[in-house]
Structures are given as C-alpha cells and as structure tokens.
Amino acid sequence: MRKFLLNTVAVATLVTLSLTGIVQADSTAKVDNNIYLTSPEGEQLFRDAEISTDYLKLASYLESEHILTFCGPASIAGVMNSLDIERPQPPELYPWPLFTQVSIFTPENQKVKSYAMVEHEGLELPQLAQFFINLGAKAEFKHADDFDENWLRETITKTLADPNKRFVANYSRKPIGQIGGGHISPVAAYDADTDRVLVLDVARYKYPPVWLTIAELYGAMMDKDSTSNRARGAVIVSQ
C-alpha cells in the first residue's frame, strides 16, 4: 500500500511539473521566454508598434482552430473574412455569409486536400496558398530556405502596411520554446524598435498572441515540415 501511494504521488508530481513547464520531454528544448500580448510588456509593444493596421480586422474574425490540426483552416477563414472578398452562405448561419473552417472546404479545395486528410495531418505550405486562391483571393507562398531575414522583414512590413494584404506564417513551435510542432497563424503587427512581429495564434486555447523577433520567426520557419520535407515559410494573401 505504501509503495502504491508513493508511486501515485510521484506520478501526480510529474504531471504537475509537466503542466507548469518544469519537466520537458526533450531536455534540449528551448525554454519559453516569449513575450505574449497579454503581458504588460506585450501590451506596451502593441502601443508602441509602428504598424498594426491589420490587427483589428484580423482579431475581429479570428477564432480558435476547431481541432488540433486545423490551424490552416482557422487562419484561412479568419484572413478571408478580414478582406473585402465575397463570403459564402453557410446553411447553418443563414442568412449571414461567412467563411468558416468548414465552408472553406469547397469542391475545389477538397481536390487539393480533403477535409479528412487535413484533419489527419494539416495543410502544407503550397496547399495553404492554393486554398486561398480557390476561395477567390490572390496568394503567393515561399519556403524559408528560399529567403533570408531581410526579405522576411521587408515583406512583413510591406504587407502589413497594405490594408488589402495579409501575411500568414507557417512555422514550428519548438524553436520558440512552445509545446507542439508545425503551426500556421497570421501576423498582425510590427514593432521596429524591437524588430518584433505579433503572431495571432489560432490555437487560442493554448497560447495568446506572441511577439517574436524577425530572427526568431525566421528560425521557426526554417524548421522542416515532416510531411513535405521542405522548410516552412510564408503565404502573402491579397484580395
């Protein structure tokens, strides 16, 4: 009985430590020292940010991914709703039009990757761009091993300065100390003094929006997507 109680305490302690981030499965994993928008420092960065025109439109329509692999669909729906593009009419929302994480799976997009396959493994960078195109937007994608930090900084600032464009990042959580693997979320602001961008995480149940330096974001984008065996990257969307 005493042995059972000791084992129970040990397991409970391990679970508690894991949840607080003290114990990590990978001892080499980076510690999460990120600046989140919900912190005083994150709030100040937002107030000081030189470019934040996309924030209000994106934040108004962005919602959490419905399932763990739906960061792509959640980002697509939020970005499309934030642009001046004709929206579909989901029967469940009649008579109100809206892009949803389900309605983006048009017959054309089902041919790119079916709902079941996205549910299983998510979207790869080229597929993400093609979904946008099939929904009526213009989209260009670029893998991180095809550009450098300067290109990333210049492209983000130019995109954020244009109210008709959006920047969607495909990156890995591991290099920035977060729990999880590949992820997709839109970028909504840039602070020149600290060279940081605000990533609006669509896994809102998991992390609030995070301020990453250009170098940190680039490093996270350079992580390879295990499905495509290519570096992750970015999609620039316009109406």
- Contact of 88 with 103, CB cutoff 8 Å: yes
Q: What is the pLDDT of residues 69-113, one digit of tens each?
A: 999 999 999 999 999 999 999 999 999 999 999 999 999 999 999
73, 151, 62, 57: which is closest to 118 by C-alpha?
A: 73
Are 154 and 173 contacting, i.e. CB atoms less than 8 angstroms apart? no
Q: Identify the sign of the CA torsion 35, 43, 181, 165.
A: negative
| SS3 assignment, position 7 | helix
What's residue 143's pLDDT? 98
Please report the pLDDT score of residue 31 as a whole number: 87
Confidence band for 9, pLDDT divided at 50, 70 and 90: very low
Sign for the pseudo-dihedral over CA of 199, 235, 102, 87:
positive
Give the pLDDT of residue 66. 96
> What is the DSSP track for 163-227?
TTEEEEEEEESGGGT-SSSEEEEEEEEEETTTTEEEE--S-TTT---EEEEHHHHHHHHTSEETT
103: helix, strand or coil: coil
CATH architecture of 31-238: Alpha-Beta Complex (3.90)
pLDDT digit string (tens) for 58-74? 999 999 999 999 999 99
Task: For 124-173, write each residue's pLDDT tens digit.
Answer: 999 999 999 999 999 999 999 999 999 999 999 999 999 999 999 999 99
User: Reduced to 3 states, what is the DSSP secondary structure of residue 93?
Assistant: helix
Mean confidence (pLDDT) of the chain: 89
**pLDDT one-digit tens code per residue, 192-202:** 999 999 999 99
pLDDT at position 4 over 70:
no
Residue 80 pLDDT = 98
pLDDT band at residue 227, thresholds of 50, 70 and 90? confident
* DSSP classification of residue 135: T
- The secondary structure of 35-91 as a DSSP string is EETTSHHHHHHHHH-SB-HHHHHHHHH----SSTTTHHHHHHHHHHHHSS-PPP--G
DSSP at 159: H
Query: What is the structure's pLDDT at 29?
Result: 59
